[in-house]
Amino acid sequence: MDIHRASRMLAFQENIFTELSNVKSAKAAQGIDLIDLSIGSPDLAPPQYVLDILSTTTKNQNMYGYAIKGTEEFHQAIKNYYIRNYHVDLDNDHEILSLMGSQDGLVHLPMVLCNPGYYILVPDPGYTAYSAGVSMAGATLYPMPLKKENGYLPDFAEIPPEVCEKARLMILNFPGNPIPVVATEDFFKEAITFAKKHSIVILHDFAYSELYYDHKPPSFLSIEGAKDIGIEMNSLSKSFNMAGCRIAYAVGNRKVIKLLTMLKSNLDYGVFLPIQAAATMALKDPSDFLQKNRSVYRKRRDILIEGCRNLGWDVKSPEASMFIWAEVPPGFTSKEFTFKLLEKAQVVVTPGNAFGKWGEGYVRIALVQKEAALRKALYQIEKSGLFHIVREE
């Protein structure tokens, strides 16, 4: 029989990620070892207490019922975490919602706020889940370019009045993916003023809040007026290396939280209780785990930055997150340079244009390999002669 595809699936075509995955699989089948710096998935282990709690609680037969929603303990841990870190007070019952990973919230929130024909303002380049959420809502994506000359912050003055009038949601992401920059409090104040003027809800994706190197990034909710018009989503995937556990949360404006809660009550029955128990302990943990985690990424960052510069590749050192956003050498597109690295040096990165039009001219490098592998990657890039060619040209 014929299988008819829904028209909304036209937005979900195979893309550069699929092409890159196919090439990696083909290389692996040929016995070629690649150093993969393309995927933003932590290679580090969660804290030992997370493993211990999961090991213990999964043996408890009473933990296998529907969670329905976030537990009181998990909500209280989120509340205390925000008070401790950002001096933000949250209402446990009305301003906190557990999520099955932040992507759950990022993709579903547009559906509760936007009808077809309305705009969603999205950073470009930006995390690919943003465009997926726009497509699911049947809304129209309006890209906000993140340009080098603007410090990779969107310029709200560039958004046409007719777009502002029909915009219902704006997504921000600092520290960012793929661009690892940190927003200032002044920028968030400007965003809040703009959003209030045009009645636009702000969603701040704060998944990399604990992966910073020099200065702690501000929470969007810590800025006066933020809770009036927006929410923040945060995740334990990157901060606590719990990516596969799929646990995150949304906090902030109670009306927005209520709408998202209504939708999710028809989609799922909450996060597995043992995972909530482990996440609760992670947010309460007084140890130096997060500091040690940052130290690991900082060393990796410094190895790659110094090594790239020694090759003649002038790469900017990131302020935060687990990525390096690197301009490709002259004469290459993002995709061309990505596949040159793969073929000549067996090193895999992600072309910047995979994240949007304004990502052209860059590649994203993920700090997801041990130091020895990073040094090997630098050696293989040097041995490939690629940068000798670039310098001669």
State which of 266, 284, 302 marks the end of a domain. 284
Alpha helices in the chain (DSSP H): 16-29, 48-57, 72-86, 102-113, 128-137, 161-166, 185-198, 226-229, 254-264, 273-284, 289-310, 334-345, 371-384, 386-392
**Amino acid (1-letter code) at residue 303:** I
What is the percentage of the chain residues whose pLDDT exceeds 90? 87
Nearest to 204 by CA among 227, 232, 176: 232
Is there a domain that residue 1 lies in?
no
- Residue 215 and residue 343 in one domain: no
pLDDT tens digit string along 275-303? 999 999 999 998 999 999 999 999 999 99
pLDDT tens digit string along 230-255? 999 999 999 999 999 999 999 999 99
State which of 231, 253, 284 marks the end of a domain. 284
In this prediction, residue 63 carries a pLDDT of 96
In this prediction, residue 5 carries a pLDDT of 86
- Residue 28 and residue 80 in one domain: no
**Under DSSP, is residue 31 helix (H, G, I), strand (E, B) or coil?**
coil
* Structural domain that includes position 373: 7-45+289-392
State which of 229, 254, 284 marks the end of a domain. 284
Question: Which 8-state DSSP code applies to residue 243?
Answer: G
Helix (H) or strand (E) run with residue 235 in it: strand 230-235
**Under DSSP, is residue 49 helix (H, G, I), strand (E, B) or coil?**
helix
Is there a domain that residue 298 lies in?
yes
- Residue 38 and residue 116 in one domain: no
> Helices 102-113 and 128-137, interaxial angle, to 10°?
30
Higher pLDDT, 385 or 377: 377
- Residue 251 and residue 147 in one domain: yes
In this prediction, residue 27 carries a pLDDT of 87
In this prediction, residue 388 carries a pLDDT of 64
* CATH code, domain with 370: 3.90.1150.10
Residue keyed to tokens 């990034």:
217
- Residue 225 and residue 358 in one domain: no
Beta bridge partners of 320: 212
75-81: which pairs have CB atoms within 8 A and are 24 or more residues apart? Answer: 76/280, 77/279, 77/280, 77/281, 77/283, 77/284, 78/249, 78/251, 78/283, 80/283, 80/284, 81/283, 81/284
Please tell me the distance from the alpha carbon of residue 144 to that of residue 195, in angstroms, as a whole number.
Answer: 14
Cβ(361)–Cβ(352) below 8 Å: yes
- Residue 131 and residue 254 in one domain: yes
pLDDT tens digit string along 14-49? 677 888 888 888 988 898 899 999 988 999 999 999
What are the residues whose beta carbons fall under 8 Å from the beta carbon of 232, sequence distance 6 or more? 203, 204, 205, 206, 219, 220, 221, 226, 250, 251, 252
153-181 average pLDDT score: 97
- Residue 105 and residue 247 in one domain: yes
- Total of domains in the chain: 2
pLDDT tens digit string along 332-377? 999 999 999 999 999 999 999 999 999 999 999 999 999 999 999 9
